[in-house]
Structure 1
């Protein structure tokens, strides 16, 4: 009886020690998996950053939150300099801004594959699976104003500006004003020009409210922004297909991708779930319902079984 009890005690001790060693090893391994997650400063980017953090932490990473860094060039420089390990970039931005292509690519797969190949070859950056939604730039009007003027497309807008150059104030942010796929190229593509005194620069966050409040007649925006629905705005149809596709994807340095090959599978799972309707709703919850990006990110991940 004593021998049997002693044997059972030894087995229990072995199992306990085994679990202890496994737990300690797992904890040490997790502690070694660290990622600094960044984002640009606008709402959608902050939400995407929080989604990435929550997913990575679920898979054993320790994450440092550096979301809301600034504009496109700030985030890109931080990644290249190793100040962050990843952020979500848009394929159209990668193509036209970072890789300096002159022509937009409107096919999502072709744009992604082009950017993925060239950014790795030229800059040592790896583009992980891209999300299913396209947050392209757009031009917006108040619904009642668009209906009153009969403006439905960007060609309609161009014709109206030519005929009434003093009647439309156009709001945009500094980045859209400067970038290759922005304001100047848009005017060239549609053959019109706003008078200089009708061009008003302000931050992305202020544009929607200024348009809603009648301080502007037209403003640039982002197609998945929840304030379009919340403020009863209308997106003008890009009938000449000027704007390229902008599917977001996590971008990491080559050494990070090699160190953590599991990142591909982690974000492939996300890419299958995060579509246009979902992203628009998340943006709406933050900008209109005033929830935090972290709260809406985690709630959505739980609702689709990813957390």
Structure 2
């Protein structure tokens, strides 16, 4: 790894000799929850150590971040294939993980956005319950949940604002599973607060991310998506085409980072922040140090 890192540095130095000072200036974006904040910090530290001049702009909503990239205000960030498929490209087909990646790669290339190599991390949306509650009610799948709702079982839901209005979110999910929840039974809150609200019994069902470390730490049961409503959400670096043309070595550098990420790795990193209360910057830094990337 150290030899690879040396050669990567050498390649970057050569590229900069024939480029311009502006070629090394990159804006790294990120969304507004733990996993994305870790990734934006990790990517910024990694690229900074490689010699780029980095500006980090994280904490954004999905649509705002995507628009910022299309407008040239953000050069690169980590996106999820399913989000691009449904939210940005209005595709509602049920596709495999590989087909989802290939479709968004082709569609976004027409918009000047390049998808690099996907990681093995698939951070899909999910609904979860406290394990003891789910066991008591006999709920293991979203079909089971639908049946309970349609039998007038009293359940409250914790959802974030973005999921409530997404095209792969709450309303289409209710249609797919043939249930309806009244507004009085829905509590909208920040993503991070859902986990503590579910743990503490303030809601019965909560929106979670499958790679969030609080899911096992708080003993949640993730309900099986028995009708395959959610597409694959493969975590992938996306970069503006003109940025890659100016910095051709950047693709290999980001692909190196992508190759180190999977579900277990992201869950562990997320747990260090959300459960063990380490700082995002330190968690990102220690990961890079472990893999000899800084």
The alignment partner of 2:67 has SS state of helix
Q: What do residues 123-172 of structure 1 show as CA deviations (whole Å, max 9, x unaligned)?
A: 1111122111100000010111111111111111111111124x100111
User: How well do the aligned residues superpose, as a CA RMSD in angstroms?
Assistant: 1.8
Q: State how 1:110-259 maps to structure 2 within 5 Å.
A: 110-121=99-110, 123-165=111-153, 167-259=154-246
Q: Which has the higher contact order (CA 8 A, sep 6+)?
A: 2
Q: CA deviation at 1:30?
A: 7.1
Structure 2 contact 85–104 (Cα < 8 Å) conserved: yes
Tell me the distance in 2 between the aligned counterparts of 1:251 and 1:56.
15
Task: Tell me the residue number matched to 2:61.
Answer: 71
Structure 2 gaps, min length 5: 1-12
Q: CA deviation at 1:302?
A: 1.7
Q: Which moved more, 1:38-47 or 1:224-233?
A: 224-233
TM-score, length-normalised on structure 2?
0.90
Task: Tell me the residue number matched to 1:51.
Answer: 42
Distance 1:214 1:98, change over 3 A: same
The alignment partner of 2:257 has SS state of helix
Tell me the distance in 1 between the aligned counterparts of 2:171 and 2:227.
15
Rg comparison, structure with higher value = 1
Tell me the distance in 2 between the aligned counterparts of 1:55 and 1:131.
17
Structure 1 contact 140–235 (Cα < 8 Å) conserved: yes
Equivalences, count? 280
TM-score, length-normalised on structure 1?
0.87
Q: State how 1:20-39 maps to structure 2 within 5 Å.
A: 32-39=23-30
Q: Which moved more, 1:176-185 or 1:191-200?
A: 191-200
Q: CA deviation at 1:185?
A: 1.0
Q: CA deviation at 1:195?
A: 2.1
Structure 1 contact 30–62 (Cα < 8 Å) conserved: no
Tell me the distance in 1 between the aligned counterparts of 2:115 and 2:26.
16
Q: What do residues 242-270 of structure 1 show as CA deviations (whole Å, max 9, x unaligned)?
A: 11000121212211111111121112212
Tell me the distance in 2 between the aligned counterparts of 1:103 and 1:251.
22
Task: Tell me the residue number matched to 1:13.
Answer: none
Tell me the distance in 2 between the aligned counterparts of 1:221 and 1:143.
14
Tell me the distance in 1 between the aligned counterparts of 2:139 and 2:145.
6
Structure 2 contact 123–234 (Cα < 8 Å) conserved: yes
Tell me the distance in 2 between the aligned counterparts of 1:243 and 1:31.
40
Q: What do residues 83-135 of structure 1 show as CA deviations (whole Å, max 9, x unaligned)?
A: 22111111000000001112242x222111110111111x1111122111100
Q: CA deviation at 1:284?
A: 0.2
Q: CA deviation at 1:29?
A: 6.7
